[in-house]
Structures are given as structure tokens and as C-alpha cells.
Chains A and B, each alone.
Chain A
Amino acid sequence: MRGLKRLSLSVAAAACAAMLAPAAFAQSGDKPEAKAPAHEISTVDIPVPPLPHIDWSFSGPFGTYDRASAQRGFLIYQQVCSNCHSMDQLYYRNLEGIGLSEDQIKAIAASVQVPGGVNDQGQPIERPGKPSDHFKAPFPNEQAARAANGGALPPDQSVLELAREGGADYLYAILTGYADPPPGVKLMSGMNYNTYFPGHQIAMPQPLQEGSVQYTDGVKPTLDQEAKDVVTFLTWAANPEMEERKQTGVRVILFLIFLTGVTYAVKRRVWSDLH
């Protein structure tokens, strides 16, 4: 109901996971944003403001990805996000899609060590990455990821843009939505206050600040700019087919409108002898 909800529904606090469906549920969520103690002001009760609406380069039926922005976003992913977040669905070769050259991709892939099967003694070995390798994950498994992140699991970012109500606008809002908690609110230990996060308590500390990365193309790394760049990259990662899809769509629909016109004219003609 992504589209439908966007029309009507303000995002409800997700933390109250009590399911109202009649079926029995065995487990309740083990989400990092658990409920606040009862004697405090519950962050769940603080309303979530409507998402900011960003005019993205990829918005609209003719939108394309701003390659420079996506590349800056990839830089942020490399230097910041990828310390905790995996991107399992992507291969290094996919980076061609944001305009990186073959040599650049080879160099990026080669900068990580990946499992390379076994040697003649049957011992597992590592080798430098190749463009045909998946993005290397920061942790070998979920347990290791949780152990390193205070029990919380950083979600895989491959399709994160599609997996959140509000998509790119939501991701931007989270990245720029960190704030001091309102007076009277006590956060659970290890939690951070975020204006736009459902329930407001997010395990991820503020990942981006002004100047978190150094851009090489002279663009000023403000928080706003960094957030836009990384969200452009994440949107591309989740929808690498988008440009081809929209461009094909324009042609297909123009053709169909033409075909409808012709068909309707033929229909009128065929039916004309009846009236």
C-alpha cells in the first residue's frame, strides 16, 4: 500500500507491535526501539511530523540519477555506512550504473579481501575482490553485527529505499532528523532521539554530520548535501533499472495512446453503418 498510504496515512508509531489481527502470533518483535519506561513521557506518544518533500533528481516521469551526487553518496557509503550496513544484493560491477569507469570499479573491488575458496591444503584463503564480487559485508553474520552494535541489527541497504514507507524522503528525514529529546523524555540506554523514526528511539547514532566526508569535487559537505547524496546512491541501489524503466515507459505510453486513437477511429468507422 505504499502509494495508497502515502496519500492518506500519517505514519503510526511502529513500536506498539501488539497485533490486532485475530490470529495468534508466536513472537513479538525484538526491535531495537523498544518501549520507554512507563513513568517517563513515552516517545511513542510523540507525533511524527510529515516527511520533508525533497525535489530529487530522480523524481518524476523523466527523472534520472544525478551521477555526481550518486558517486558522492557512494563515497559516504564506503566511508560511513559500510562500517555497519551490508549491501548484499549489489556487485561491484553494478557501480557502472552511477558512472564509475571499469578501472575505478576494479580498484574499488580490489581494495577489499573476499573469501577465495580453498588452497591445495584445503585451507580457506582470501583474495582481492573483483568486479564480479558482491559488496563485502561488514560482519560475517547477524550475531556479529548485533554484538558490535549494542544488540541492534543494522539493516541491509540494498533495497532500503523500497523497504521504508516514504522511500527516499524518509531516508533523508532520518539522516537529518536527529535532535535532542524533548524535556521529560528519557531514552533507553544506547538509544538516540530522531524526529522522524517511528517511536523516535533509534539505535543508530547520528551517522552524518557537517564535514563527515571530504568531497573531491569541491562540493561543500553540509549535512543536507551529504544526506541528499547518500540517499541518491541508496535509491539507485534499490532501483538500478529506474532510468531505463521510465524512458521505456514514456515510449510505451506514447505508442499506446497512438494505438488507442487509431483503434478508436477504426471502431467508429466499423460501427458507423449501424447508426
Chain B
Amino acid sequence: MVGLHKSEFKNPVINWIDTRMPVFTMMQKEYGSFPTPRNFNYFWNFGALAMVNLVLMIATGVFLAMNYAPNSMLAFDSVERIMRDVNWGWLIRYAHMNGASMFFIVVYVHLFRGLYYGSYKAPRELLWMLGVVILLLMMATAFMGYVLPWGQMSYWGATVITNLFSAIPLVGKSIVTWLWGGFAVDNPTLNRFFSLHYLLPFVIVGVVFLHVVALHITGSNNPLGIEVKTPQDTIPFHPYYTIKDSVGICVFFIVLAALVFFAPNFFASPDNYIQANPLQTPAEIVPEWYFLPFYAILRSVPNKLGGVMMMFGSIAVLFVLPWLDTSPVRSARFRPIYRQLFWLLVISVFALGAVGAHRPQGIWVVIGRLATLYYFLHFLVILPVLGKLERPLPLPESISRPVLGGGKMPGGATAKPMEKA
């Protein structure tokens, strides 16, 4: 629709801008009066926390890039120079380094929140899939960022992960050479990883924007997993959720500060404080903790190509999850069996994390394979079947009246039709 916007803002300057470009009206609509379910618990903080974390990473990263030298001869020393000679350089670097770990903690909680409360179900499938895209972009960004300090684990981690592509039949080796820009991980690899590590966060910002657009079309899910029905079910985003998110953001910064100031290398590998040496393989090549479950899946398959496919498949199943889960009921609160299997999934992912940190021998191989098996069984077999078999608990009538409808509901497998589609 062409034409000036009829702005309701009193301030003449804001009104003048808003008339020509209604960004203030948009902000007011999307973050001010935006109707939001009134029953969020603190797990709904984690989307906002991820947003704050992304801003933190970009802000610290921009300043690091001012002092970092993306050259294999200089990179390691330039990072040490940041730690020693750049004003507050240690703070910026440790915040960036631990910010990456916090980012994955926050996003994993956000993701499992979605799994528990069925946030991926219709009509939020696209919202969920955009989230998975963000996760993939984050993984790529984090992986390339970890290469930049050019320590031993940077170098050998890059070698192992890029080598995964050599499992692709016929063209695998050529692809790896193309990725490296040479015949081994070397200066050209470092240069392009730096370039992409700077680019991808802004791609993430773009997809986060789409994620939020999609969210504001469907509206948020909520702990009961039932649709908003009456205006009494919602409250305006501001001030109720701006202040509630602020509480979470404060706690987030306490945890981040505890890491940065008192245990800055808690998640770090000592080997990465040794400069990269192509002639000396570290005793153990272990990825950053947030990749360990995927690394464990990779190593649980005796065949290299199979392992790589399973590893990527573990993310791919998340893409199609909205169609794998056949239950019309969203929230695990009303799905007695799913609720238990959800925790089994959490346990198996933690188990995979532990497996990824250990040499694949003895009991770790067994645990790794069982956990991998359960991971795929959960998504590919159990969720499709469970939706047909499980008898969900009776759903509350509405968010504002969380009391059950006086026992009128038969509590059968036929959930209220409104929850479907």
C-alpha cells in the first residue's frame, strides 16, 4: 500500500519520521503492545538471552578483529598481544571466548525448551526450521572462530573437520583441497576462515530477524502448549516481558562474568596455548565441548562416510521434526510418556557429550552407540508412533483459566481439535 503512514506518536520528530517510515509504529507493535501469553516460565528467557549473546559476540569480535592478524605466522602472537598489550584486551578476548560457550548453552536450552513444550508444531514449523538454520550457522561460525588463534587444537581440529568432507565419494578429496585453498590447512585456510567468521554472524543476524518475523506471525507458544483464545490469555510484551527478560539477562551476565573473571579457561583446551605445528599431532584431538555430542555420533559409526552422514543427519532430523511428531498435543506436561522419553533424550545427549570427550575405546564405544541409537530412534521411530498411541492428559480450557474444565473432558487420545494444525 503506497501512502504516508498515519502515525500516532506525539513527539513531532518521531511523528515526522514515523509518517514516512513507520519503524516506531512497528517497534511499538512488535515489542511494545505485542500480545504475549501471560504464562511464560523462565525458560522463555532464552530467546532474548540468545539475542543479547549474539550482540555481545559481534561487539567483542569487532574489537578483536582490530587487533588480530589473520596470518599463520602472526595469528598466535597477535592473540597473545591482545591478552597482554591491548587495553582491556584480555577482557574482550575472554568475553568472546566464553561468550561462545554461553551462546551454545543458551541456544541448547532454547532448543530443548522447544522440544519439551512442542514449540515446533504447527503452525510454528517454519519458525523452528529457521532456528535450526541459525544453529547450523552458529556451528560453522564457532568452528571457524576456533581456528583463528592458530593453536594446536585450532589447526588439528580444522584438519579433522575439513577432512570429513573427504568421505564424499569421488569428489571428496577435491572438495577438501578446495576448502583448504591448498593441500593442507595453511595460511589460505586461515584467511578464508577469518573472512567467513566475520561474515557469518551477520548472516545469523539476518536469519534471526526472519526467526522473529515468523514468531510474530504465529505468536509464541507457552508452557501449556494451547492456543491463545481470549485477550485475557495475553499481556503486552512491554513492560511484562521486557522486565522479566531483564532479570534473566542479569543472571546470564553473572554466569558469564564468573567464567570470564575467575575461570576464563574452564572450557578451553590447554593444547590451544601451543602454537599450531603441522608436524606434531596432539595426543588427543577433542573439539570444543558444544560439538562433543556430534563428534561422538561421528565416531560411533565404524564407517567414515556413514559417520559423517549420521552426524549431519542428527541435525537434519530436527529440520523434519514438525512432521515426525504426530501428536496433536504440544506441551510435554500433558504427554505422560513423551515427558519421560524427553528426559531420556536429554540423558542420551549428555552421554554423547561425555563419549565425545573420551577416547573411543572400551565402555565408551558401547555407550556412544547406544546413545546414538536412542537419539535417532527417538526422532525417527518413537515420535511418529507415540503420537498415535499415547493418551494425553486433559488440556486446560484456556491460558487464563488453567483449571481443567471441571472434568468434562474424557481425556481420550483425541485432543481438542483446535490444537491440531
Identify which of B83, B164, B253 contacts A23 (C-beta below 8 A).
B164
Smallest distance from the beta carbon of B279 to chain A beta carbons, Å?
Answer: 6
Identify which of B159, B261, B279, B281 contacts A249 (C-beta below 8 A).
B261
Residues in B neighbouring A89, C-beta threshold 8 A? 77, 80, 84
Is A28 in contact with chain B by the CB < 8 A criterion? yes
Give the interface SS of chain A, mostly helix, strand, loop or mixed.
Answer: loop
Is A67 in contact with chain B by the CB < 8 A criterion? no
Residues in A neighbouring B260, C-beta threshold 8 A? 249
Closest to B77 in A: A89
A162 to B240 alpha-carbon distance, docked (Å):
45
Closest to A89 in B: B80
Smallest distance from the beta carbon of A49 to chain B beta carbons, Å?
Answer: 18
Smallest distance from the beta carbon of A252 to chain B beta carbons, Å?
Answer: 5
B279 near A253 with CB under 8 A, answer no
A263 near B307 with CB under 8 A, answer no
The tally of residues in B whose CB lies under 8 Å from a CB in A reads: 61
B273 near A162 with CB under 8 A, answer yes
A133 to B286 alpha-carbon distance, docked (Å):
36
Stretch at the interface among B120-128, B326-334, B353-361: B353-361
List residues of A (1-60) whose CB comes within 8 Å of B's CBs. 1-5, 9, 12, 14-17, 19-31
Smallest distance from the beta carbon of B356 to chain A beta carbons, Å?
Answer: 10
Is B250 in contact with chain A by the CB < 8 A criterion? yes
Identify which of A15, A28, A271 contacts B281 (C-beta below 8 A).
A28
List residues of A (229-259) whose CB comes within 8 Å of B's CBs. 238, 240-241, 245-246, 248-250, 252-253, 256-257, 259
B247 near A263 with CB under 8 A, answer yes
Closest to A16 in B: B283
Smallest distance from the beta carbon of B309 to chain A beta carbons, Å?
Answer: 12
A95 to B354 alpha-carbon distance, docked (Å):
42
Residues in B neighbouring A241, C-beta threshold 8 A? 83-84, 90
Give the interface SS of chain B, mostly helix, strand, loop or mixed.
Answer: helix
A4 near B289 with CB under 8 A, answer yes
List residues of B (268-310) whose CB comes within 8 Å of A's CBs. 268-271, 273-274, 278-286, 289, 298-299, 304, 307
Is A219 in contact with chain B by the CB < 8 A criterion? no
List residues of A (64-97) whose CB comes within 8 Å of B's CBs. 88-89, 94
Closest to A90 in B: B84
Identify which of A1, A15, A94, A249 contacts B267 (C-beta below 8 A).
A1
Smallest distance from the beta carbon of A84 to chain B beta carbons, Å?
Answer: 17
A260 near B247 with CB under 8 A, answer yes
Is B254 in contact with chain A by the CB < 8 A criterion? yes
List residues of B (237-275) whose CB comes within 8 Å of A's CBs. 239-240, 243-244, 246-247, 250-251, 253-254, 257-258, 260-271, 273-274
Is A164 in contact with chain B by the CB < 8 A criterion? yes
Residues in B neighbouring A198, C-beta threshold 8 A? 283
B90 near A270 with CB under 8 A, answer no
Residues in B neighbouring A3, C-beta threshold 8 A? 263, 265-267
B279 near A274 with CB under 8 A, answer no
Identify which of B94, B240, B263, B284 contacts A271 (C-beta below 8 A).
B240
Closest to A15 in B: B283
Residues in A neighbouring B235, C-beta threshold 8 A? 274
A21 near B285 with CB under 8 A, answer yes
B243 near A2 with CB under 8 A, answer no
Is A159 in contact with chain B by the CB < 8 A criterion? yes
Is B38 in contact with chain A by the CB < 8 A criterion? yes
Is A192 in contact with chain B by the CB < 8 A criterion? no
Is A215 in contact with chain B by the CB < 8 A criterion? no
Smallest distance from the beta carbon of A88 to chain B beta carbons, Å?
Answer: 8
A214 to B149 alpha-carbon distance, docked (Å):
39
Identify which of B38, B163, B279, B307 contacts A27 (C-beta below 8 A).
B279
A257 to B304 alpha-carbon distance, docked (Å):
49
Identify which of B94, B250, B361 contacts A20 (C-beta below 8 A).
B361
Identify which of A155, A159, A249, A267 contacts B244 (C-beta below 8 A).
A267
Residues in B neighbouring A31, C-beta threshold 8 A? 280
A89 to B307 alpha-carbon distance, docked (Å):
41
Is B14 in contact with chain A by the CB < 8 A criterion? no
B299 near A267 with CB under 8 A, answer no
Smallest distance from the beta carbon of A134 to chain B beta carbons, Å?
Answer: 10
Is B91 in contact with chain A by the CB < 8 A criterion? yes
Identify which of B246, B254, B281, B298 contacts A19 (C-beta below 8 A).
B281
List residues of B (321-353) whose CB comes within 8 Å of A's CBs. none
Residues in A neighbouring B94, C-beta threshold 8 A? 245
Is B160 in contact with chain A by the CB < 8 A criterion? yes
A12 to B38 alpha-carbon distance, docked (Å):
52
Identify which of B160, B253, B274 contacts A256 (C-beta below 8 A).
B253
A271 to B91 alpha-carbon distance, docked (Å):
36
Q: A30-B280, A245-B91, A267-B244 are in contact. Are A158 and B80 (CB under 8 A)?
A: yes
A-B contact pairs, 30 of them (CB 8 A): A1-B268, A2-B268, A21-B285, A21-B299, A22-B167, A22-B299, A23-B164, A24-B166, A28-B281, A88-B77, A89-B77, A155-B274, A159-B80, A159-B273, A163-B270, A240-B84, A241-B90, A245-B91, A246-B262, A249-B257, A249-B258, A249-B260, A250-B261, A253-B257, A256-B250, A256-B257, A260-B251, A266-B243, A271-B244, A274-B240
Q: Residues of B with Cβ closer than 8 Å to A?
A: 38, 77, 80, 83-84, 90-91, 94, 159-160, 163-164, 166-167, 184, 235, 239-240, 243-244, 246-247, 250-251, 253-254, 257-258, 260-271, 273-274, 278-286, 289, 298-299, 304, 307, 357-361
User: Known contacts A4-B266, A5-B357, A29-B282; can you find 18 more A-B pairs with CB under 8 A?
Assistant: A3-B267, A12-B284, A12-B359, A16-B283, A22-B304, A26-B184, A29-B280, A29-B281, A30-B280, A94-B84, A162-B265, A162-B270, A245-B264, A252-B261, A253-B254, A263-B250, A267-B243, A270-B243
